Amino acid sequence: MVALTQDELLAEFETMTLIQLSEFVKAFEEKFDVTAAAAVAVAGPAAPGAPVEAAEEQDEFDVILTGAGDKKIQVIKVVRELTSLGLKEAKDLVDGAPKPVLEKVAKDAAEKAAESLKGAGASVEVK
């Protein structure tokens, strides 16, 4: 077996969809019994009289397909365009609704994807 360099692995990951990457991370975690969670800094309680910071605005959104509607074939086509999935994978995603179509995307990309899916007759939720 040929060992891949870090650059070769990154180049390979660039070609994968978010769903494929998510599945890879889950398989990696199971295989090596690890968790890919980011480290979280623990902050102490705020000092009395300290100003409360405004809640950070959400900058990553998930587009979740909640139903295919009457035009299932059109919805599958839109899912394929948005995710680069093959026909079978896109059909499985649509059949298995509710499922995320896109994860951790910018607000404008999430809104465009939701509009496209709704235009095809699907019911969509953006979180």
Task: Name residue 108's amino acid.
Answer: D
| Nearest of 58, 61, 67, 57 to residue 103 by alpha carbon | 61
pLDDT in tens, the chain (127 residues): 678 888 888 888 888 888 888 888 888 888 888 776 654 455 555 555 555 454 556 778 888 888 888 888 898 888 888 888 888 888 888 888 788 888 888 888 888 888 888 888 888 888 8
Asked whether 101 and 79 are in contact (CB, 8 A), the reply is yes
Lookup: tokens for 34: 């690890």
Lookup: tokens for 63: 């587009």
Task: Find where tokens 């999935």 sit.
Answer: 85
